[in-house]
Structure formats: C-alpha cells, structure tokens
Structure 1
Amino acid sequence: MGISEEKASLRTRYRRERSERYLEHSFEHLADSQEFHKAKVVASYISYADEPDTTALNLALIKSGKILLLPRIAGKDLEWVRWDGEQSQISKAKKIAEPKGPVVTDLGDVEVIVVPALRIDRSGYRLGQGGGYYDRALPQFSAFSIGLIHPDEISSEDLPREQWDIPLHAAATPDLVIRFQR
C-alpha cells in the first residue's frame, strides 16, 4: 500500500471515529494564548459537520480587534477574504460555508493560521480531509500554524508523510495547546 492509499484508509477510519464520538467544544480560549494575543492578522476557517467548531474563536478574534481572513475554494487552491463577523457575508456551497468579498493577495501580514485536521502526530504533521488545499496553502504563509482537533486526536504514531507535507507549529484541543519543536 502506497502513502496515498494509507492516508485514504486512515481518513476513512478517523472520520468514522470522529463521528461516533463527536462532542461540541469551544476553542475560544485560543484567542487568549500568546500567539493569538500578539497577532494582528489571523487566518482561520469556517468549520463544518463534526470538525472542531471555529465559530466562537473566529468571533472572539474579531471582537478583540484582529483582522480575520477566511478561505474560499478557487479551483484547486484557497483564496483568502477578510471577514468582519457579518453573517450576510458568508455563502454556502454544498456543506462548506465561505466568505464573500475581495481576495486578500498579500498574506505576509498573517501571523497565525488556524488549520483543520483529522489527526496530528507528535511531530506536528497533520492528516487533513484529503483535498490538498492546506498542503498547497501553507507554503504561502510564514505564520505560526496551529491545527484544531478534538480530544484524543493526537496520534501516538507517526502519520504517513509525503514530500509536500509541512509540520504545524502546534495543535489545540478544547483543553490545551501542544507546541511542537521545529
């Protein structure tokens, strides 16, 4: 079995496990962590289904005066749009909610990027949903990267890796932040 097939098999297993034990949690506490507190510009995402819920975190960041960028799908890539918390500026395409508005092309000011993940291993490597959007997006950022996961979604075993996989700086559960050595 190749790495791509191994990842696909793990995604199926991890999605099933997540759906069987999903509990709603808040990640709002991250807004007070040192990296978020210092940042002026944060890139996050709009969660869906049983992903860790980003709603309270995104609104807390805006309330604290941060500039918040959210992604939308543009072909095989993500483009980033500034969002001010106004729900009328969100559209829904199938199960994914995306921001409306002009694209932010200069991502150099982003100091923190929040990334979805199904699992994260002890070295900071993540297994995402399989579309490759964040694999292509992360090299555009020099920001502190943090993946959101539910409790028990830190893998004690190394996840399969491909040459384009980039380790995150940290993982966050509803209760703690785990920073990785890089």
Structure 2
Amino acid sequence: MTDIATEKKQLRQKYIQERSHLNPIQWQKKCDRISLNLLKHPLIQESQVILSYISHKQEPDLSLLYRHHPIIWGIPRCQGKDLIWHQWHWGKKLRRGAYSIFEPYKTSPKIDLETVQLILVPAVACDKKGYRLGYGGGFYDRLLAQKPWQNIPTMGIIFDFAYVEKLPTEKWDQPLNYICTEKEIIPISGSRL
C-alpha cells in the first residue's frame, strides 16, 4: 500500500468514527440543516433531474430534501465497478444491494443521463480544493472522469467537521465544484464550472 493510500485509509477511519459518535438527535439536526441549505440553493431550485444517494453508515441523510423537492432523483445501483442510475421518488421502495447500501431495483426506470443537471456526491471528507475522500472504491472518481459527466456541477455532501484544509490526493481523484455542510454551501474557487 502506498503512503497516500495508507494516509487516506487512516483519515477515512478517523472521519467515519467521528461521524459514528454523533448521537441520533445531533445527527438528524445536522442532516436537516444540510437539506435546508440545499433546498435554498439556486442549483437545486433550478434542477429537475439530480443524481444523489441514500445515506449509509451515518452519512448525511437527505430525506428532508427528497420529501420537499419532488423532482426526478437519480439513485445509484452498483453493477460491478460502475454505478447505474435509476429514477427514484420519495417513498418508492428500495432494496439492500452491494455493500448493504439501499438502491433501486434493476427494473426501475433508468435516468436519461443527458437530463442530469447536478450530482450530489456522498463523501467521508472534503477539502478546500474540492477533493473528496470516499470509501476507497473509486466509483465516483471513475464516473466524474468520463466525458459526459465533466460538465455537470458536483456538490460534495459532508458534515462540517469533515471539511478540512487539505486531503491527500492521487492522479485519478476528481475535484468537486461545491461542498455542502450543515453550516454552508461553499463554491470551490478555480473549479471547472
């Protein structure tokens, strides 16, 4: 394992552990503040198709956003090393899939990728240059490196304690355009959009 990979692994453990120590009331308050910040943001208000995620391992939960912004949400389903995006609306059933993450059924309608206006990206931590620390599977870095995705704005979703000065990066890491915490939404200066 490289030094960067080891450092990322240690940071991942640190921030996941910090997240797991939030009591349920603190966690829900922070999640709701994140959703409220998103609901007020022009990118969210102007978008009709947004790719997002279902909270896992005490990630920020966006249920309040999904309930109050009834647009077409794209939720991923893992297929090998790729994410397949399916339409989802608040209240529609999901199944436990890869990594025990809730995901749409295979039979759910797929998202027309040309209609996607924003991607909300789950993260363990993000830094001031827009780099994110994920779980190490590389799903989002592979996705965001592909041509059709490079012109769609991206927003990392984290708790404020996981917004740090600088994360270790590797050549394949893809920076995000915005970071959303329970305190604010931060545009990343010099981002590609």
TM-score (norm 1): 0.89
- Specify the alignment match of 1:149 in structure 2: 158
Over the residues paired in the alignment, what is the CA RMSD in angstroms? 1.6
Unmatched tracts of structure 2, length 5 or more: none
Unmatched tracts of structure 1, length 5 or more: none
How many percent of aligned residue pairs carry the same amino acid? 36
Equivalent residues in 2 for 1:1-182 (5 A)? 1-21=2-22, 23-24=27-28, 25-26=31-32, 27-29=34-36, 30-62=38-70, 66-88=71-93, 90-93=94-97, 95-100=100-105, 101-104=108-111, 106-140=112-146, 141=149, 142-156=151-165, 158-181=166-189, 182=191
1:71-101 Cα offsets, whole Å, 9 max, x none, are 110111100001122333x112363100121
Q: Is 2:66–2:89's contact at 8 Å kept on the other side of the alignment?
A: no
Write the distance in 1 (CA, Å) between the matches of 2:140 and 2:39: 22
Q: Is 1:28–1:60's contact at 8 Å kept on the other side of the alignment?
A: no
Which residue type is aligned with residue 92 of structure 2?
A: Q
Q: List structure 1 segments (4+ residues) > 4 angstroms apart after TM superposition.
A: none
Between Structure 1 and Structure 2, how many residues are aligned?
176
Report the Cα offset of residue 150 of structure 1.
Answer: 0.9
Higher strand fraction (1 or 2): 1
Q: Is 1:52–1:149's contact at 8 Å kept on the other side of the alignment?
A: yes
Report the Cα offset of residue 131 of structure 1.
Answer: 1.3
Higher helix fraction (1 or 2): 2
TM-score (norm 2): 0.84
1:135-179 Cα offsets, whole Å, 9 max, x none, are 1122342211101111221102x1111111111111111231111
Q: Secondary structure at the match of 2:113?
A: coil
